[in-house]
Amino acid sequence: MNQLFVKLCNEKFQFLVEEFGFKRMPAKCGAHGCALLYRGQTTSVAIYYERRDQAAWVSLKRLTDGKEPDVLDKMNQHGLWSVVRLKAGPDVKLVGSVPTEADMERVLTENAHALRTYAADILRGDFSLFPELYRVENE
């Protein structure tokens, strides 16, 4: 599934490169899954696949001096799910379960659409929503 994950991410998230000027970093894959990172001037988007939990998800990170936030820095990195919850309402949920190849394609398609629709401000470097995202994630 790692190869499929990388292939689908390259397809579904290409808009980050074309529309927002992000650079796609090399995929990091192993026995436990995969991670892909897209980096812009102020923001990075990480897309993860974890084999054991059969899950895929997206995180948005604020870069400081071009560097990723520390893994424990919860103020500067947030799940796309919290952006969707805040902007689209609690009834709209991103599903991350990917037990099959068809599920993988559906989940990555939905996440790419949600990223483009609800997080364009963050992709452009507007982090004014981050304090509220922190609150949502810690409710």
Res. 82: pLDDT tops 90: yes
Hey, how many other C-beta atoms are within 10 angstroms of the C-beta on 20? Answer: 18
pLDDT at position 89: 87
* Alpha carbon of residue 116 to chain centroid: 11
Confidence of residue 66 (pLDDT cuts 50, 70, 90): confident
Summarised one tens digit per residue, pLDDT across range 31-48 is: 999 999 999 999 999 999
Confidence of residue 90 (pLDDT cuts 50, 70, 90): confident
* Domain span including residue 25: 2-137
Pair 74, 60: CB distance under 8 Å: no
pLDDT at position 84: 95
Res. 20: pLDDT tops 90: yes
pTM, two decimals, is 0.94
Query: Residue 104 corresponds to which tokens in the numbers above?
Result: 């993988």
Mean pLDDT of 45-67: 95
> How far apart, in whole angstroms, are the C-alpha atoms of residue 108 and residue 72?
26
Q: Which helix (H) or strand (E) covers residue 116, if one does?
A: helix 101-118
How many domains does the chain contain in total? 1
> How far apart, in whole angstroms, are the C-alpha atoms of residue 82 and residue 44?
16
Nearest to 1 by CA among 32, 24, 47: 32
Confidence of residue 28 (pLDDT cuts 50, 70, 90): very high
